[in-house]
Amino acid sequence: MDDAKSRPGSVDSLPKQLLLKGLLAYSAFGAVQVFIRLIRGWRESLKMRDMLADIPSTKGNEEPMSWLKGMRENWQRVNDWRYEICEGMQICKNVGFRWSSGGHSVICGDPAMVRHFLKDSFDVYTKGDPSENPVFFYLQEFLGDGIFTVRHGTGSEDDGKAWAQMRKISSQIFSRKNFNSLMQDVFVEKAEALRSFLSRPQTQQEAVDLQMGFFTFTMDSIMKIFFGEDSNTVMGKENKYGEAFDKAQSAMRRHMIKSLSFHLISRTFLPWPFGGSTGIARMIWDTLSPTHREFMAERRIINAEADRLVQDCLADPQRDNRRDLLALFLQAQKEQKFTTKFVKDMVLNLIIAGRDTTACLLSWMFYEIARNPDVQKRLQEEIDKKSPAGMPMDLKSLSHNELPYLHAVVYESLRLWPPVPVDSKIAQVDDVLPGGWRVPKGTTLVFCPYNMGRDPDRYPEPQAFKPERWIPFSAPPHHEFPVFQAGPRICLGMDMAIFEAKIAAVELLRHLSFELKTGQQITYSDKITMSIRSGDKDELLVWVKNRKPGMPS
């Protein structure tokens, strides 16, 4: 009787037979799916390579995907590596997979091309689809559906309505009235706090991490302007949001670079539901990754702090009278029907917009000031004469007409050390760039402010720090100097960042002098924004000395 149960065709063996048939059917389905994908990908890649054939390859990267190996080997100096492989070319390409449309990119250094895909054909070029592009998948995992990650134009799910809505509300904080009241008051208050901290005798007994000072200054400023919270991290008060944000950003970038090859392979060779950014294989890969677990732990802290900020604002009886950006979003929530996640994602995006970029600008600016005594001396002379201690600071008194050398130092710092050294958009349709260069749908269009600022045809002696090149000042077109992007997605906080940096610089240089600590190996970090790295730490060590206004350093 037992033998009968185990014979083929018996009732007990039926589940095993069904399971085996299911596995065979899925294997056949998966094989056909991958085969069709490979054929389709090969045809798409062939078309893309044909359309891109006239564009020269980046140096040493003629073979498909060879650029990925170079990027991984040069990750700690990736901006210089990208400059070297593009040097002398206004347009060049990195060739993608033979069996997939992924990995094809065009790097543009010609301002006319940058204008084309950032402004003139704005709707044709947008952010990458997170379900298809691993870079944008991890950016969305980090920043959510905020103003930096949400898509616009032809490729967006809602024709860009969410992005336009975010931008419209965010723009309300950047009015001239706010510049000359809320922002001015906060920036001056927080700059004075930083100067007071740096002036203490105990601070001046050893080299101080000035970059950390600038990150606390900008964090305290945006916490007040964007979120209505009066933090005091300059004096050492804990800020969980800022600390978790830095750790999450670094972990996410390290994991993303390690994962690029895996994503491209799984997307091409694994069938549904295993392949792709949303597939099971990716979930297992991320779960087993120590860097991804590190990222997720910090992301949970960030989420908890965002919850706290939103709930504190909702509980504030004076919320409707507040002028901070979070309050503006929550005031609009009733009419626009925002979800709480929407507001929290905006909070996170505003952190990177308002804190990191300006802190990076100030760090590199004072790195150049500290290592160029002649620049520091001339700056202090201009400030002592035009903006002495006690004189109020506002938009007019800090303009390029009133303080031309300070303005030149800011722009020269942005030229050499742009806070966001590289950015990209994805072509949603076949297109033609200025000059007749064909670009197929799916190509990543890359622009590099780091490279463009070092173009010897535009900036003689490009590696030299020469503020004089900006005097007399003539504002460069945004597509020629895309430090703040260009076109409809140009940075809303551009003027705020420059205003904040000038207030901090004037307040510090009125009372202090700076000297770079010798022996540091200064380079840039591996974060989204280009902060300073010295050895294995993100820091800028300087000696600080008090000075009397009007006296030589």
Binding residues: 491
Tell me whether strands 444-447 and 105-108 are parallel, antiparallel or unpaired: parallel
- Helices 357-371, 494-511: crossing angle, 10 deg rounding: 40
Cα angle 363-369-370, degrees, rounded to a multiple of 5: 85
- E strands, 133-174, in order: none
- As a whole number of angstroms, the distance between CA 312 and CA 326 comes to 11
| 347 phi and psi angles, rounded to 5 deg | -55, -50
What is the Cα–Cα distance from 363 to 358, expressed in whole angstroms? 9
Token digits of residue 312: 């504190």
Give helix 340-351 / helix 240-269 axis angle, nearest 10°. 100
Helix (H), strand (E) at residue 80: helix 78-86
Provide the 10 A C-beta neighbour count for residue 365.
Answer: 24
The sign of the CA dihedral 510, 371, 184, 213 is negative
Which residue numbers belong to the known binding site for heme? Answer: 491
Q: Is 461 left (phi over 0), alpha (psi -120 to 50) or beta?
A: left
> DSSP class of residue 225?
H
Give CA torsion, residues 194, 213, 172, 351, to 10 deg: -150
Residue type, 410: V
**What CA–CA distance (Å, rounded) separates 244 from 478?**
33
Q: Which of 488, 497, 487, 486 is nearest to 529 (CA)?
A: 497
CB 62 within 8 A of CB 95: yes
Strand ranges (E), 9-138: 91-94, 105-108, 125-126
Beta 125-126 vs 532-534: how paired, if at all?
A: unpaired
- Nearby residues of 307 by Cβ (< 8 Å), 6 or more positions away: 344
Report residue 173 as tokens.
């904080």
Buried b / exposed e along 77-86 (16+ C-beta atoms within 10 A)? ebbebbbebb
Q: How many other CB atoms sit within 10 Å of the CB of residue 307?
A: 13
Nearest alpha carbon to residue 102 among 261, 279, 278, 275: 261
Per DSSP, 370 falls in state H
Q: What is the CA radius of gyration of the chain?
A: 26
Q: Contact at 8 Å (CB) between 323 and 290?
A: no
Quick check: helix, strand or coil at residue 150? coil
